[in-house]
């Protein structure tokens, strides 16, 4: 299959270069006729946020035989954000049309995006002025990555035909079901997801204590309203429960406009 316009795509992730999700995505897009370069961490780097490697060298090597022959793949010793920076400024000969991250094994909903290496990799592309997409499969046990790969291809076609006015990050979460079981696609707002934090204290073989972070997710039914969107717009947390693919536009500008307006009334001089 040859697309109307072959795109130059950069793909990264936080699950590592050997993850099934990124392989499914990259191979599917390459089979559709797009030029695909993959630069991923050499091991799992989940929940690293937008961390950068500043105090040690970053090493990168080409990876043969893992992906389709049409895909150029690199492994990188750094974080997901490192991978995108390295790709844009040291690996690629030309600027990509899109940066994609994923498909992550596990959802990135609500406040998860603050910690997500997947979202941060895509956000790095957005910060460079490149439209970017983060894709996550909302399950740690399902391997139904084909649904997300098919949707990514369709989304790229739409974004090419009707570009967004500014470089925007689209955070996409895919329900862990076959394509015919997907309820549809919903434009959503960021929801709220909280965790009961638990630090389990353990003792190593040398008798020294250490802590292992665990937590239980709490998906609150009452979601805060958004000042700039209608109240009936579902959150990503709500829509994924109903087996919708969720598409949430994000930006790196974290300015709280409502609080800014209220603070203008303060006497801060």
The CATH number assigned to the domain holding 129 equals 3.40.1210.10
CB 218 within 8 A of CB 195: yes
pLDDT at residue number 191: 86
CB 244 within 8 A of CB 185: yes
Reported as a single tens digit per residue, the pLDDT across 60-89 is 999 988 999 999 999 999 999 999 999 999
- Domain assignment present for 143: yes
Structurally, the chain folds into a number of domains equal to: 1
Q: Given a cut of 70, is residue 261 above it in pLDDT?
A: yes
Task: Give the domain range for residue 61.
Answer: 8-188+230-259
- Domain assignment present for 3: no
- Domain assignment present for 234: yes
- Domain assignment present for 141: yes
pLDDT at residue number 216: 65
Q: Given a cut of 80, is residue 224 above it in pLDDT?
A: no
Stretch 216-221: mean pLDDT: 62
- Domain assignment present for 198: no
Name which residue leads in pLDDT, 203 or 27.
Answer: 27
- Domain assignment present for 81: yes
Quickly state the pLDDT bin for 217 (edges 50, 70, 90). low
CB 134 within 8 A of CB 170: yes
Query: For residues 9 and 28, what is the distance between their CA atoms, to the nearest angstrom?
Result: 12
Q: Given a cut of 70, is residue 152 above it in pLDDT?
A: yes
Q: Given a cut of 60, is residue 163 above it in pLDDT?
A: yes
Q: Given a cut of 60, is residue 198 above it in pLDDT?
A: yes
Burial degree of 105 (CB within 10 A; 0-12, 13-18, 19+): buried
pLDDT at residue number 228: 74
pLDDT at residue number 25: 98
Quickly state the pLDDT bin for 256 (edges 50, 70, 90). confident
Mean pLDDT of the chain: 90
pLDDT at residue number 212: 79
- Domain assignment present for 201: no
Instruction: Match 């997801």 to its residue by tokens.
Output: 193
Quickly state the pLDDT bin for 49 (edges 50, 70, 90). confident
- Domain assignment present for 207: no
């Amino acid at each position: 299959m040859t697309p109307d316009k072959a795109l130059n795509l950069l793909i990264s992730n936080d699950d590592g270069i050997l993850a099934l999700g990124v392989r499914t995505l990259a191979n599917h897009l390459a089979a559709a006729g797009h030029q695909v370069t993959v630069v991923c961490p050499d091991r799992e780097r989940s929940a690293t946020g937008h961390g950068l490697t500043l105090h040690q060298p970053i090493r990168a090597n080409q990876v043969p035989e893992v992906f389709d022959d049409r895909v150029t793949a690199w492994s990188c010793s750094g974080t997901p954000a490192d991978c995108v920076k390295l790709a844009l400024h040291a690996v690629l000969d030309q600027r990509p049309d899109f940066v994609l991250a994923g498909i992550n094994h596990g959802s990135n909903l609500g406040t998860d995006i603050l910690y997500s290496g997947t979202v941060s990799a895509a956000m790095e592309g957005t910060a460079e002025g490149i439209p970017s997409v983060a894709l996550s499969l909302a399950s740690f046990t399902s391997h139904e990555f084909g649904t997300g790969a098919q949707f990514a291809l369709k989304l790229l076609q739409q974004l090419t035909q009707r570009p967004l006015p500014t470089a925007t990050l689209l955070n996409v979460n895919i329900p862990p079901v076959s394509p015919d079981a997907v309820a549809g696609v919903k434009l959503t707002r960021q929801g709220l997801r909280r965790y009961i934090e638990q630090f389990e204290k353990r003792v190593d073989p040398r008798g020294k204590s250490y802590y292992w972070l665990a937590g239980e997710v709490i998906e609150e039914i009452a979601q805060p309203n958004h000042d700039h969107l209608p109240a009936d717009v579902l959150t990503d947390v709500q829509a994924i429960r109903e087996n919708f693919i969720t598409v949430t536009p994000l930006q790196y500008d974290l300015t709280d406009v409502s609080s800014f307006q209220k603070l203008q009334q303060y006497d801060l001089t």
